[in-house]
Amino acid sequence: MIRVVLALFCLGAGVFLAVSLYRLLWRCRQQTVAGLVRRPARVAGSGVGWTRSRPSASLELLCELGTVRVDPTAVHIAGRSLQTGERVTLECVEAAGSFQVVRIRPGIWPELRWLRWPRMAAIVLCVTALLVGQQGPAIGSIPVQVQRTHRAACTARGQTTSISQLRALQRRIRPLHRKMGKVQLGDWLSQHREPGQTFEQYLRADPVRIAGQRRAIYVQPIGSFGGKGSPVGRVGGANNRRRVLDLTVDFMSRYFCLEVRVARPLPLSLVPAHARRRHPTWGMRQILSPYVLDHLLKPRLPPQAAAYIGFTTSDLWPGPGWNFVFGQASLRDRVGVWSIHRNGDVDGGREAFNLALLRTIKTAVHETGHMFSMHHCTAYECNMCGSNSQIESDRRPIPLCPECLAKLVWASGCDPRARYRDLQAFFAARGMAPQQQAYARLASAVGGD
């Protein structure tokens, strides 16, 4: 692929330089060192024209400045004859807006105007080669090996929920959700002006949905999850980090009502030096999240993936002007990444583990929601709200608001009540009472005991 791109670029650049050199030489030929200007012309008039044996009283020439009459005895004419219609070159001395012909040469070195098109085509070829080279390998060109699969009890089976049913669902759960409160200093919305996205706007945007063979979420571990000095725990924390990943996979399956497949981990060495940095103030090592999306995940996007999300213990940053990001995802390309780096100490006991787990699953489903074309929520306190800090993220509830739940059900085709019951059971098994109670109330609101 790289060789093809390089060959296209070299071909385009070569054509462009050749045509440009020809045009430059042509222009230089029109202006002589002695101050003579050369102009193309054509012999006008009728008859056989001018010859040395039969000179004419005057010659009529057509050039870009109009019709010019010259005295053949007053100019030097190279060659022995000039025929009517013949193309010639006039060597003139120009001054004060007029010119005097001093020499006439048969033939011209024409500027081939059609060469403009090859030059334009060469420019297009070079730009195309550069764009293709930046995109890297084609989507799905690198196979993904699946290690294990998790399928929740509420996994959707392709049923379609009508828009009228979803609006009725919104009305039933709306009393259980809080509208967005006053934006605090430093919050996401205090620094990012976002209009939000209603369910109706979501429908008009032709969102990503479960379709055809794309009926699974792929989770791609990136880098090591163990060892001394790892970002999220002490020595021996590798088992707990793997447990966080396993529980997050379980939760994602229940949350999106889809099968979740865990791929074989990718080594962090796949991220080159130019996509890494040490934070200039805090000193921790970070990897560039757009590089992960474009160069690690897009080329590996499986054809069966409704979404393909990377999971890493490394801190992420999205580019210049940013300190860090909890995760990042594409609204259209179905790829995303999230990090456990800032979620707390998974080895600090049950309470600390549950807090780190909650933060992890909130980020995971938030970023995966983006991959189903869901924008940040600005209407309710909701897990799809943007967060500028861990404090702000902790304030947000994990259940989706009425607008965002309707989007998820429309995209996945799940049964809302079965989904709520499955999520309630997840938190009950972990001893996370506030989240369990929240989903129990929502399950009751949509119908049931």
How many residues does the structure list for the chain?
Answer: 449
Query: Which pLDDT value is given to residue 50?
Result: 76
Residues near 270 by beta carbon (within 8 Å), at least 6 away in sequence? 222, 296
Could you give the dihedral angle defined by the CA atoms of residues 197, 200, 202 and 204, in that order, rounded to the nearest 10 degrees? -130
State which H helix or E strand residue 391 sits in: helix 390-395
pLDDT for 103 equals 85
Q: Token pair for residue 230?
A: 């790892």
Mean pLDDT throughout 264-286? Answer: 91
Q: Taking the CB of residue 223, how many other CB atoms lie within 10 A of it?
A: 20
55: tokens are: 């000179």
CA quadruple 362, 368, 373, 379: dihedral, nearest 10: 0
Q: Is the pLDDT of residue 327 over 60?
A: yes
pLDDT at 403 (0 to 100): 96
Nearest to 142 by CA among 365, 305, 338: 305
- Give the separation between CA 292 and CA 328, rounded to whole angstroms: 10
Confidence (pLDDT) at 413: 87
Q: What is residue 283's predicted lDDT score, i.e. its pLDDT? A: 87
Q: Cα–Cα distance between 313 and 12 in angstroms, integer?
A: 44
Helices (H), ranges, 151-196: 163-173, 188-191
Render pLDDT for 132-166 as a digit per residue (tens, 0 to 9): 655 555 666 688 889 889 887 776 555 567 899 99
Read off the pLDDT band of 48 (50, 70, 90).
low
**pLDDT-derived band of residue 231, with 50, 70 and 90 as boundaries?**
very low
Q: Is the pLDDT score of 323 beyond 60?
A: yes
Active site residue ranges: 367
Contact indicator for 439, 399 with CB cutoff of 8 Å: yes
Distance CA 359, CA 354 (A): 9
Q: In what side-by-side order are the strands of the sheet with 315-317? A: 276-278, 285-288, 315-317
Q: What percent of the chain has pLDDT over 90?
A: 45
Indicate the CATH number for domain 146-445: 3.40.390.10
Strands 276-278 and 285-288: antiparallel
What average pLDDT does the chain have?
83
**Which pLDDT belongs to residue 150?**
87
pLDDT tens profile 174-191 = 999 999 989 988 899 999
Residue at token pair 């499955």: 422
Nearest Cα neighbor of 388 from 318, 315, 325, 321 is: 325
- Reading the block at residue 27, the tokens are 């222009």
Q: Which residues contact 250 (CB under 8 A, 6 or more apart)?
A: 150, 152, 260, 426
- Please tell me the predicted confidence (pLDDT) of residue 144: 86
pLDDT of residue 230: 39
Q: What digits encode the pLDDT tens for the residues 92-139? A: 887 666 778 888 888 876 555 556 667 677 777 777 766 665 555 566
H helical segments located in 208-346:
238-256, 289-291
